[in-house]
Structure 1
Amino acid sequence: MDPTSHDSGDRAALEEVIRTELGADATERFLDLIRPSVGFSPCADSPGAGSTIGGPPRTPASFEWPRYGGQPMVLLAQVDCGQMARLLGEEWTFPDDGHLLFFHDDEFTAELDFALGDDGCRVVHVPARPDGSPHEGDGPALPALPLEARALLSLPYWGSAEADRAADGDTLALSNLGMALYDVLPAPRHRLLGWCDSSDTPAPQGHRPLLQLEAEDGTDWFEVVNVSFWIRDEDLRAGELRHVRRSYEVA
């Protein structure tokens, strides 16, 4: 699959809807905001290693499990790097083999402090295992939920500051646009890169979403309904994961 094959058709449909709702000038401003992303949805099975919520980690036996407060962190998700490279092409700045592993402190007790940094999450890349099999590790395990992945264009949520500026503050037109875009720009259950899908999600200044996860049946996040991992633009360009931060919403 050509990782950009979705772009021309989706972009044309977006342009038509935005132009109808907001006019030519605002359309150009909105189109400049488009970001590539990958949308995930749960599926019954996933070919090969794939991307998953939870599951046993695909790590070498020597992998040192991240800890918070002396306790092993929980592995929330595993993203298949080869899959992302095929879908995103040059937009994917991380290795094109192995997996990105997304960890969070097990009991969601780490303080959210965007100013001082974040030791309540870790995102690490692990190379592919030669035999392709998972390794049990020594941390808490969520049941594996396979994810189907597809390339999606992403625009700022209609209630965001970026959307408001692009529409010159016309909130009624933005609301109408949000409804009109529903069929041509569906919001996935989970998203890699792109824009934040909710204006209610706390976001560290100067960061963009790296991965947005919604709670699914079988996940044990207490009263947490979604978790977002955030990355700075310069770190994304450099493929740097050491400064990732996270936020979450509670029901």
Structure 2
Amino acid sequence: MDYHGQFRRTAIERGIPADEVERFAEFLRFAIWTGEHRDGPLVGRAGGLPRLPAGMEWPSSGHDPLPFIAEIDCAALPRVGGLPLPADGTLLFFLHHENAHDEFDETKEQRHARVVYLPAGTDTVTADEPADTDGMFCNTRISFIGRAHDLRATVHAELPGWLEDDEDLESYGESRPVRHLGLDLSHLNDLRALAAELWPDDGDPGFALGGYTSGIGEMATDFLYTIPETGMAEAALEARGAATTDVDLEQETVRVMREWVPLAQFVPDDVYIGRFLIRYDDLAAACFDRALSFTAFTE
């Protein structure tokens, strides 16, 4: 379904100027939220034992097996513009969130995270649980094999954090980010309200694909939460020897966000969030080995 087209048509029918609708729509993303209590189609399963190709070893860090998070049936997913997931096949996600976070190093973290893509028609068998998985987590409430449950999907509209809150936007005055990012729109509140009306927020995103990266509570600037994209933007500015004012960082972050998308986000533990990001080009080419893990605390 063309969700962006639906938004544009409805906004213009309500009298909002087409140029404002187009500028706003550039920042409107659609995410697939999944969970066991949703009303949408069955698209996968979380927990339990994964189905792997016969003879394939359970993904590991090189020392320890990686906990299985979820598998997604790509053919069953809603089609979302701007999120070029495969038309078929299966995506499997593995992450040891405690070990990944404790590395405090982006390169080393990848040893504890894995995305596996199985093309349609791959012969698979239910994997046996690896040996010696007791005590894999510091949090003893978490077992290596999580509770198995179905994942059903719904589609939701998302905006970047700095564009979501009317009250915050009003308090910024002349310096608010919508000005220097080209979104000083006279119908901004109407556009935001329409997106919320067409795709109401129904609570916890669960295991989510696409949309915007979740912030972790810490602010990178007055307007931007700390997300992987702000770190990439800082590194890019430093590499170019460019200025690093807050405005520069915000503008560079928006550029980076046009190149990267959250492949998956989920909460494996009350105080952690798992996040896999991938470049749009790599996603379109199904190069899932290039997805990067950015595990963080939720607070």
TM-score (normalizing by structure 1)? 0.71
Superimposed CA distance per residue, residues 105-131 of structure 1 (whole angstroms, 9 cap, x where no aligned partner): 253344243477733311011346778
Give the Cα–Cα distance (whole angstroms) in 2 for the partners of residues 233 and 63 of structure 1: 28
CA deviations 1:48-96 (Å, max 9, x no partner) are 7x31232221223322212126111111221112113x53489534361
Contact 1:73 1:106 in 2 (8 A): no
What stretches of structure 1 of length at least 5 have no aligned partner? Answer: none
Q: 1:92 aligns with which of 81, 84, 90?
A: 84
Counterpart code for 1:196: T
Partner of 2:96: 105
* Residues 95 and 113 in structure 2, CA contact (< 8 A), matched pair in contact too: yes
1:250 aligns with 2:298: yes
| C-alpha deviation, 1:230, in angstroms | 0.4
Matches within 5 A, 1:160-171: 165-168=181-184
The aligned amino acid for 1:249 is F
TM-align CA RMSD: 4.0
Count of residues paired in the alignment: 234
Give the number of the structure whose residues are more often strand, by fraction.
1
**Structure with higher RCO (Cα < 8 A, 6+ apart):** 1
User: In proportion to residue count, which structure has more helix?
Assistant: 2
- TM-score when scaled to structure 2? 0.61
Matches within 5 A, 1:48-127: 50-68=43-61, 70-84=63-77, 87-88=79-80, 91-94=83-86, 96-97=88-89, 99-105=90-96, 107-108=98-99, 109-114=101-106, 118-127=110-119
Shift of 1:8: 4.1
SS in 2 for 1:68: coil
The one of 37, 43, 58 equivalent to 2:37 is 43
CA distance in 1, matches of 2:18, 2:38: 43
Matches within 5 A, 1:225-240: 226-240=273-287
Structure showing greater radius of gyration is 2
* 8 A Cα contact 2:94 2:113, kept in partner: yes
Say if 2:205 is the partner of 1:157.
no
Q: Is the 8 A contact 1:157 1:163 kept in 2?
A: no
AA in 2 matched with 1:145: H
SS for the counterpart of 2:50 is coil
8 A Cα contact 1:18 1:177, kept in partner: no
Q: Structure 1 residue 31: deviation in Å?
A: 1.4
Give the deviation of 1:147 after TM superposition: 1.5
What is the letter of the counterpart of residue 148 of structure 2? A
Identity rate, percent = 26
Contact 1:36 1:88 in 2 (8 A): yes
Distance 1:71 1:18 in 2: 58
Of 239-248 and 179-188, deviating more is 179-188
* Equivalent position to 2:6, from 4, 9, 14: 9
5+ residue gaps, structure 2, are 134-143, 165-175, 216-223, 233-255
Could you tell me how far 1:191 is from its partner in structure 2? 2.3
Return the alpha-carbon distance in structure 2 between the equivalents of residues 141 and 237 of structure 1: 31
Counterpart contact for 1:195–1:208, Cα < 8 Å? yes
Is the Cα–Cα contact under 8 Å of residues 58 and 133 in structure 1 kept in the other structure? yes
Q: For 1:12, what is the secondary structure of its paired residue?
A: helix
